[in-house]
Amino acid sequence: MSGTVKKRLNFVDVARSFAIFLAIFSHAMIDFGGWDLLSSDQVLIRVISRSATPLFIFMFGMMLELVYFKRYEQQGLQPITQRLVKRSLQCFIGYQLTVLAGLIGGSLTPMHAAGAALFLADAHFGNILRFYSIALLLAIPLLMFRQRYKSLGMIGLLGGIWITYPILTALNIRDLSMFSGLGGVLFGIVGNHHGPSVLYGFTFLIVGMLVASSLANWREQGLGAFYQTATMVLGLCGAIIVGLVVSSSASEVAQNFVTMEAYRAQNHPGYYAIGLFLCMCILILLSLLVPLHHSLPGWSAVPMEFGRSSLTAYTLGNVVLNLTPAFVVGTTAAMAIGISIGYLLILLVLLHAYNTGLERVKPQFHNYMLKFTQAPRDHPPSTAVRVVRYLLS
């Protein structure tokens, strides 16, 4: 209820939900023909929607700092490792379900689907889950690095990542045989991969952690440190953007950002500068609009389902889009936008109903599955049974 002191940062939770909303909206617009109907001068809608992936990864970085790193300092590495590995496996399963849906729905050929399942090619939607399944495992040594070398070490790590960019660009590696796709996924150097690669995608994650570290004492000191950090990020990214605009034009830079085959596929610094700039603008705006110290009103529970069940929402939203052919295609941009928003509203209602029902039956289902997978004392449990227990634990 409104009036009770809030233990969580409301605007951060809202930002997580907004990132999911933008991602699924963008994918729905593809399926319902919206992007093809938008004129070239309506680039603002494209720019905002393209901020979904940067914001998605950025919020993951914030969660690493605010939740996992805090627990790591309190509980040690082992429980955090178990949680991150399990979450990685869940993202991997979600990604494979999305690939399978793309195959069944006809978006992927059998050969392409096999490549996507092995991280050698892009899926039709849901590729961020591939990034997450890898990044969640890499987050384990990253948290150890964060504890040992503090924020300055994280800044140095970020600089080290971008030192590799001119080196890899100069090497101009064009072929790694059957591993070209994997090279694109991990390093963005070869392969038909739309980005961001894991290596350079950590830019959003690390900056997200650094920004989140400025919120360590938000209950006592407010958001002053956050705004200072955000201003520095905006200034640095703004300088890079201005440099790009001066060397070309504002419209060309905007088009390069929204076009998948341009900045994003190239892992161009401009993609990360613009992405971070948009992330900070969104977070600052939400921090000013969303109440800080009090709970959100009860009606907000439904739109917040995207953030509450981000993996379920993202996977389900993309699986359905993959399974259902584009039988409804907008004849105008406004119609396509309306259909896409309508799809999101239906998805929200389904998620809310699912989570409400799950809260009621989860204890009984959990106990039943544990009992079902209980092996006799004289027979060790199979690998499949151990995996089921692990995912339910």
Instruction: Parse the chain into domains and list their residue ranges.
Output: 10-342
Question: Residue 368's pLDDT is what?
Answer: 62
Res 359 pLDDT > 80: no
Query: What would the mean pLDDT of 50-64 be, rounded to a whole number?
Result: 95
Question: Residue 295's pLDDT is what?
Answer: 76
Query: What would the mean pLDDT of 18-44 be, rounded to a whole number?
Result: 85
Higher local confidence (pLDDT), 15 or 374: 15
Please state, in angstroms and rounded to a whole number, the distance separating the CA atoms of residues 237 and 235.
6
Query: What would the mean pLDDT of 182-199 be, rounded to a whole number?
Result: 78
Of 20-34, 132-146, 371-385, the least confident? 371-385
Query: What would the mean pLDDT of 20-40 be, rounded to a whole number?
Result: 86
Confidence class for position 5, pLDDT limits 50, 70, 90: very low
Of 180-194, 204-218, 280-294, the least confident? 180-194
Percent of the chain beyond pLDDT 90? 54
Res 215 pLDDT > 80: yes
Higher local confidence (pLDDT), 299 or 32: 32
Question: Residue 135's pLDDT is what?
Answer: 96
191-200, 236-245, 347-356 — which one is most confidently predicted on average? 236-245
**CB proximity list for 375: less than 8 A, separation 6 or greater:** 381, 382, 385
Confidence class for position 3, pLDDT limits 50, 70, 90: very low
221-270 pLDDT, tens digit per residue, is 889 999 999 999 999 999 999 999 999 999 999 999 998 888 998 899 99
The sign one gets for the Cα dihedral 7, 10, 16, 21 is positive
Res 303 pLDDT > 90: no
Of 111-125, 317-331, 338-352, the least confident? 317-331
Question: Residue 45's pLDDT is what?
Answer: 86
76-135 pLDDT, tens digit per residue, is 999 999 999 999 999 999 999 999 999 999 889 999 999 999 998 889 898 999 999 999
Query: What would the mean pLDDT of 336-348 be, rounded to a whole number?
Result: 90
Of 64-73, 157-166, 274-283, 330-339, the least confident? 330-339
Query: What would the mean pLDDT of 289-308 be, rounded to a whole number?
Result: 78
12-23 pLDDT, tens digit per residue, is 999 999 999 999
Nearest to 317 by CA among 110, 84, 27, 123: 27
Question: Residue 374's pLDDT is what?
Answer: 60
Confidence class for position 335, pLDDT limits 50, 70, 90: confident
Question: Residue 301's pLDDT is what?
Answer: 73
Confidence class for position 8, pLDDT limits 50, 70, 90: confident
Question: Residue 178's pLDDT is what?
Answer: 66
60-73 pLDDT, tens digit per residue, is 999 999 999 999 99
Higher local confidence (pLDDT), 364 or 12: 12
Question: Residue 375's pLDDT is what?
Answer: 57
132-158 pLDDT, tens digit per residue, is 999 999 999 999 999 999 999 999 999
3-state secondary structure the chain: CCCCECCCCHHHHHHHHHHHHHHHHHHHHHHCCHHHHCCCCCHHHHHHHHCHHHHHHHHHHHHHHHHHHHHHHHHCHHHHHHHHHHHHHHHHHHHHHHHHHHHHHCCCCHHHHHHHHCCCCCCCCCHHHHHHHHHHHHHHHHHHHHHHHHHHHHHHHHHHHHHHHHHHHHHCCCCCHHHHHHHHHHHCCCCCCCCCCHHHHHHHHHHHHHHHHCCCCHHHHCCHHHHHHHHHHHHHHHHHHHHHHHHCCHHHHHHHHHCHHHHHHHCCHHHHHHHHHHHHHHHHHHHHHCCCCECCCHHHHCCCHHHHCHHHHHHHHHHHHHHCCCCCCCCCHHHHHHHHHHHHHHHHHHHHHHHHHHHHHHHHHHHHHHHHCCCCCCCCCCHHHHHHHHHHC
